[in-house]
Structure 1
Amino acid sequence: MNTKYHHIAIALAGVAQSTILIPQLANTGVCSTTLYEQSIKSVFQTSPKTTVDVFGGLHNIRTGLKTLIQLLSSGQKEQIELIRYLFGSLSITSKLIKNTDALAKIDQRLTRISGLYTDMSEETIQAHIDDLSYSLAGIYSDIVSPLATKIKVVGKAEFLQNSLVQAKVRTALLGCIRSAILWYQVGGSRLQFLFLRKRICKAAQELLLEIDNTN
């Protein structure tokens, strides 16, 4: 599976998978630990050799692929919020990728953060999850957010007013941005949502089948 649309589907699945975390955090104060840690790991993949290397393997975006297929094919009411976060991420990323100064600052901050730890293994992320959340949230607030209209996060006030939940929401958004950058790099375009939805959806389905066949 190595067509342009498979790469586009992989990158969009990454955006969708990080997007899932936002309403979870905003409405309950917690989110999927596995998906959250995966989102953080993707942010530190700044020089991947392949599209899938950003996520450490195709199996790590299985949930994102399933979500992407639902978003492209159903249009149910509960999907509207996820679609809004996804398109908001793509929109702000379109401005970010044209701003070389902002990209350089993000790279510097990520290098500084990763330098505080021996590696970015699963164990390291788990042990320092709160500190990493605040650090990555700072990158989003300081560098990414000022570039465009803020993405409005809807949820329960009791959670949205919690500083750690706020940090995790911004970290999840940074995960969305990381995958959105990848999407643009592999030839993603918002016009594809109008004219090529079925092709992208088919590619995502083929990738899911590939995951199932290797398990």
Structure 2
Amino acid sequence: MESTQAFAGLLHAVAEVQYLSRHGESDKDMLAASLNSILVTNPDSVADVYPDRFSQRKGMQLIQSQLGEQGQKDVELTRYLVGILALERKLSRNANALGMLAERINQVERQLHHFAITDEQVIANLASIYSDIISELGPKIQITGNPNCLQRPLVQQKIRALLLSAMRSAVLWRQLGGKRRHLVFARKAIVDAATKSLSL
């Protein structure tokens, strides 16, 4: 069940990327929920990483639609998901990148004494962490959407910050035993866990 929460967090973050790339804006609470997860580096439980129930519900619904038998599969979301999981595998094997990542996230935590998580300066900082560390690990994830939106610097920064959030959830998902093969061979169990979560 905990790994399903992490996977819901991952899907929610890439869905926010997709929405932002098409519309040029995002719900502030949803954005905050995704970005806050980056900073919870020593949680007592997975619930500490995803305290926002509304964004978790959205993630669980995305699991149903992406992995369920009846769901409308979104090929673009799948592409983003596969890209993040590929980068996460490279990150997990790169001790130097992991060390730099921890150091840079600590810097952002200090910044939050003065700014909100959705402040432009914090978003710019999170975006630069993604560009400097994660993007360098492998093929870049190609984001499609409205060209007018994608040209705006703040939109670009929010997308990179959200991809960093997706990476956070991917790391957690793997730490909790999640494996790519589960998305093929254990789909029903993951969907059932999401459905159960939505009924609570």
Q: TM-score, normalised by structure 1?
A: 0.87
Quick check: 1:52–1:58 contact (8 Å CA) kept in 2?
no
Q: Which moved more, 1:91-100 or 1:37-46?
A: 91-100
Match of 1:154 in 2: 144
Match of 1:39 in 2: 34
| The one of 50, 53, 58 aligned to 1:55 | 50
3-state DSSP class of the match of 2:15? helix
Number of positions where the alignment pairs a residue of Structure 1 with one of Structure 2? 199
Quick check: 2:127–2:164 contact (8 Å CA) kept in 1?
yes
How far 1:125 moved relative to its partner? 2.5
Quick check: 1:133–1:168 contact (8 Å CA) kept in 2?
yes
Quick check: 2:14–2:162 contact (8 Å CA) kept in 1?
yes
CA deviation profile, 1:22-42 (whole Å, cap 9, x unmatched): 121111111122211101100
Q: Which amino acid aligns with 1:117?
A: L
How far 1:57 moved relative to its partner? 5.6
Gaps of 5+ in 2: none
Distance 1:81 1:104 in 2: 31
Match of 1:174 in 2: 164
How far 1:75 moved relative to its partner? 5.4
RMSD of aligned Cα (Å): 1.6
| The one of 80, 83, 89 aligned to 1:88 | 83
CA deviation profile, 1:56-85 (whole Å, cap 9, x unmatched): 2655411111111111014536x1111111
Distance 2:62 2:154 in 1: 26
How far 1:158 moved relative to its partner? 1.1
Match of 1:65 in 2: 60
Match of 1:101 in 2: 96
Quick check: 2:12–2:58 contact (8 Å CA) kept in 1?
yes
How far 1:118 moved relative to its partner? 2.1
Match of 1:3 in 2: none
Match of 1:213 in 2: none
Quick check: 1:8–1:183 contact (8 Å CA) kept in 2?
yes
Q: Which amino acid aligns with 2:21?
A: A
Match of 2:135 in 1: 145
Distance 1:160 1:60 in 2: 24
Q: Structure 1 residues 59, 161: closer, same or farther in 2, change over 3 A?
A: closer
Distance 1:130 1:117 in 2: 12
Q: Which amino acid aligns with 2:187?
A: R
Confirm whether residue 14 of structure 1 aligns to residue 4 of structure 2: no
Quick one: percent identity of the two aligned structures? 34
Distance 1:8 1:112 in 2: 28
How far 1:9 moved relative to its partner? 0.9
Pairwise mapping of residues 106-117 of structure 1 onto structure 2 (< 5 A)? 106-117=101-112
Distance 2:156 2:57 in 1: 26
